[in-house]
Amino acid sequence: MPTFKRRDMEEMEKAKDLLEADPNAELGFVKSLFFGRLKLDAVLPYPKQDPDEAKRTDELIVKVDAFLKEHVDADKIDVEERIPQHVIDGLGKLGVLGMTVPKEYGGGGFTHTAYCRVLERIASHCASTGVLVGAHQSIGLKALILMGNEQQKKTFLPDLAAGRKIAAFCLSEPEVGSDAANVQTMARLSDDGKHYILNGQKKFATNAALAGMMTVMAKTPVPDGKGGTKDKVTAFIVTPDLPGFEVVSPNRSKCGVRGTWQGTLRFNDMKVPADRVLGQVGKGLKVALAVLDYGRCTLSAGCAGGGKLALKMAVEHAKRRTQFSRTISEFHLIKKKIANMAEMTYAMESLTYMAAGLVDRKEKDMMLESAIAKLFCSEGLWTIADDLLQIWGGEGYMRQHGIERMLRDARINRIVEGATEVMTAFIALAGMKGVGEEFESVLRATKHPVQNFGRLASFAHSQWSDVVMGSGAAAGRNGQLHPELSELGQTLARLTTRIARSVHKLLRTYRQDILDMQLQQERIAWSVVEMYAMAAVISRLQAELTAKGGVNGNGHANGNGNGNGNGHSNGNGHSHGPVSDLQRDLIVGKGFCRRAARSIDQRLDALWDNDDTDTLKVADTLLGVTPSDE
């Protein structure tokens, strides 16, 4: 059996806080896929806003749209690299900066779904302003809401909710990007026990130079249970008036979202009162993960809003632009781009509000679902923005139309809150972890088969039911789905059985070596990503069919409503001609699912027929790496 290198053992120890879920929590939809279980009840029915809150959200959106149109000049913000104070003040007065803060602390008490709807509008108008709002509310003050004690909430939330103060989240450091467990900033308790003394640096901290309150991650010594101590991450509330707090640089000029400020901070023996620890000492990574679940969900909403605007602009231009004596909308290569943009946008929105629904239901196991929403939507918007510019051609390359700014702004989403490569590996390994642990426990049980007969019998039964026979396939035929969607349900069920069999074979073949096989991880991760996207699309279509009366005898959708289950219109940018909104969404949603299923099958085929060895050999040749160096 392959053994772990010392480096791997150290990294796995760090990863425990990141990967260990609540042992009492039921497996979520995505983790269940790795076991071959299709839990349709986890995605059905599609989340729906309470009617009263939906109305309240609609009213706020009207005010926000008017404010953005009158006061937020996205081009000027991009050029001047700053968001005017009157914009921040205005958003505070509208209640946007405290939407999710409970009413008893001066906030709006809105759900996460409502917040995502508003953030969609802001981000599609000005990505920089959307990032400022998200950094403040999605991650900056979120730890205070989730983990803060009553006194901490009373002290800080009212000013933050009103926009009198801005919040920031400080995790990244000069040597720490996505490697959250490797924080180098240190905090030691003072001799009198009244303060923690912080030393270190933070970088890329959005809003930090403007903030009146920051959530800061630092390592503290905690008892290891063996008579010694171990450095573990703790979350602190930091304010800029603390002695030893220094803004090294308020901002750096960058490619996109240029109106936002990413500060570099230094803590020089900074004394933080002991009562400003957020949550438990040594449990800061769990705080960070909980916060990032929210942040990734709202980042997805911003991407969905940008995708819908891009699709609308692409459709309008394709119908208007004439080349070779006809509009470019008649050319198949343009049609292909628009079809892909429409399918991707519908899936992005479906995933975003599925994740928002999980947040609002306070689901315990949603780590992979929020990671998938972030990964899918950030990659999707980048592709959509690029296709929009291509459809517009040279005109789109000019600053006048805001398309080049959209492309620049979209690029950062693939880096922040979990870079694409990190999220890809994380989804694969976090999902396979449970399957691997079950294998390991069974291997141990086989050494004492008599004493462990029950364990072995249970494992054999689950293997036969879920993987060999494919219980997922039965889930796809159990009548939970509308007849219009039954074929898609059966396809998803087939893929559920196939992904489980593929994971089992990978683990049996490579064992621990799979930890380093990131090209294989990528195939598993993106297969699961698209399966969850398919599930979200199917669930949303089911909600639309139910709301609009289903289909007629010819198999065509009835009704012309535009609800998507969230109490608001879908705004996909399609024409409202003879095809009803429901018919259009069925065409788009089914198109996405069929294309995704084809991609998944191709990826799973490639697990055993690929050019990975040659690819790595080429890279190693250029990097000067030999196998013994790795």
- Helix or strand run (H / E) with residue 199: strand 195-206
Give the distance between the most distant pair of CA atoms in the chain. Answer: 82
In the annotation, is 80 catalytic?
Answer: no
Spatial separation of the C-alpha atoms in residues 115 and 138, rounded to whole Å: 9
DSSP track, 468-485 = IS-HHHHHTTSS-S-GGG
The number of beta carbons lying within 10 Å of the beta carbon of residue 481 is: 23
Q: Which of 531, 590, 596 is nearest to 39 (CA)?
A: 531
Residues 6+ apart with CB under 8 A from 97: 88, 91, 133, 136, 137, 160, 161, 162, 163, 166
Q: Which of 52, 44, 60, 54 is nearest to 99 (CA)?
A: 60
Q: What angle do CA 430, 612, 7 make, to 5 degrees?
A: 50
Buried b / exposed e over 332-348, threshold 16 CB at 10 Å, is eebeebbbbbbbbbbbb
Please give the DSSP secondary-structure letter assigned to residue 246.
E
Gyration radius of the chain's alpha carbons: 25
The number of beta carbons lying within 10 Å of the beta carbon of residue 101 is: 25
Helix (H, G, I), strand (E, B) or coil at 87: helix
Which of 417, 522, 530, 544 is labelled catalytic?
417
Contact 630/5 with Cβ under 8 angstroms? no
Helix (H, G, I), strand (E, B) or coil at 16: helix
Are β-strands 186-189 and 322-323 bridged in parallel, bridged antiparallel, or unpaired? unpaired
- Helix or strand run (H / E) with residue 521: helix 518-548
Please give the DSSP secondary-structure letter assigned to residue 237.
E
Q: Which of 295, 364, 309 is nearest to 134 (CA)?
A: 295
User: Is the bond into 45 cis (omega within 30 degrees of 0)?
Assistant: yes
Q: Which of 11, 31, 37 is nearest to 434 (CA)?
A: 31
CA dihedral 74, 76, 77, 82 (to 10 degrees): -170
Spatial separation of the C-alpha atoms in residues 612 and 605, rounded to whole Å: 13
Buried b / exposed e over 52-61, threshold 16 CB at 10 Å, is ebbebbeebb
Helix (H, G, I), strand (E, B) or coil at 389: helix
Spatial separation of the C-alpha atoms in residues 495 and 538, rounded to whole Å: 14
Contact 92/106 with Cβ under 8 angstroms? no
Catalytically active residues, by annotation? 417
